[in-house]
Amino acid sequence: MARYRIGVLECDGIGPEIVRSSVSVLKAATGDGPALDLAPLPAGLDALQRLGQALPAETITTLEQCHGWIMGPHDSESYPISERSKRNPNAELRHRFDLYANIRPARAYPNVPALAPTMDLVVARENTEGFYADRNMFLGSGEFMPTPDVALAVGLFTRRGAERIARTAFHLAMARRKKVAIVHKFNVLRLTYGLFLDVCREVAKEFPEVEVEDFHVDNMTAQLVRRPGHFDVILTTNMFGDILSDLTGELSGSLGLAPGLNAGDTHAMAQAAHGSAPDIAGRGIANPVAEILSTAMLMRWLADKHQDVSARTAAERMERAVLRTLESGVRTGDLGGSANTEAFTGAVIGNIGRE
């Protein structure tokens, strides 16, 4: 039987509530395999206050020995000013473990009101480069101020970065509806986005079965509203992917339904696309769907990496149980229902048990 060591980082705001929910569902879904060694680890504001670091060295050392981890959202705005200039825990882990692919599905669910009820797509977002200054340099920052009145940002675009996210996107498309939409801004940023677009087109030649389109990012926002059901896999850069995945999450029902996986060649991190929602933290009303589905994505990644049928079975059980729970009308308040976090989690676990 396969055995996986999984780090558990609850982090900030509603993080402890939704991560604990996800862990409970994961335990129920694994059943007779795979075996899990769950490792709770300090991270976020609590770790900063207790241990002096938002991402302690012991956490990083343990994660190096893990197959993957489940991470809650962070609320870096609540950190002391001295900490805000540093990479937040999420960005630090993406950078340190080279988690270059941020995969964010968005789909409509039954019994959940959606502006785009035909949406079922995946955003494949490059996760280490672009204009995100906290993760695009080996040393130092891509942001700087030569004078108090001038601020500059340097974006990083490399052939290697474009190639590997493009291959990730095309492999995703081969397992879905075989369509990829490349999103860029080549008409204005001709060198940086020109390189990205050219490399993506080169990779596309390796996948002749896949239909390929490309869109300027501003046009894509309009197209997602106009014909959301048209798109299958959206391939794009770091900042554009971050923005577009928020849009697709809301169009398909709610950011509370929007899962995410940060994946590299050796490690992967499950983390929902939404934030820490500090205004409802500790009230027991948070929607755990996105974090549960992110955890299921981690299990699918482990299944693919280790050719493990039992891990894939666990992921499928989690996904089916969430779907059946929503189909039955059990929803948290943000989705128009009355269930709290505990009740929703219990309903998901109950649906796993009924399998």
Catalytic residue among 37, 198, 218, 265, which? Answer: 218
Which residues in 248-281 are b (16+ Cβ under 10 Å) and which e?
Answer: bbbbbbbbbbbbbbbbbeebbbbbbbbbbbeebb
Catalytic residue among 132, 193, 232, 308, which? Answer: 132
Distances (CA, A) of 36 to 23, 53, 170: 11, 27, 31
Cα 235 to Cα 311: distance, rounded to the nearest angstrom: 27
Catalytic residue among 12, 75, 232, 246, which? Answer: 246
Catalytic residue among 4, 185, 193, 308, which? Answer: 185
Torsion sign, CA atoms 260, 262, 263, 266: negative
To the query of whether residue 185 is one of the catalytic residues in this protein, the response is yes
Residue 309 · residue 3 · CB < 8 Å: no
Q: Give the three-state DSSP class for 253.
A: coil
- The residues, any chain, with a CB within 8 Å of residue 232's CB and separated by 6 or more, are 121, 122, 173, 176, 177, 178, 179, 180, 181
Catalytic residue among 75, 232, 242, 308, which? Answer: 242
Cα 180 to Cα 124: distance, rounded to the nearest angstrom: 10
Cα 29 to Cα 353: distance, rounded to the nearest angstrom: 8
To the query of whether residue 218 is one of the catalytic residues in this protein, the response is yes
Q: Would you please indicate which residues are annotated as catalytic (active-site) residues?
A: 132, 185, 218, 242, 246
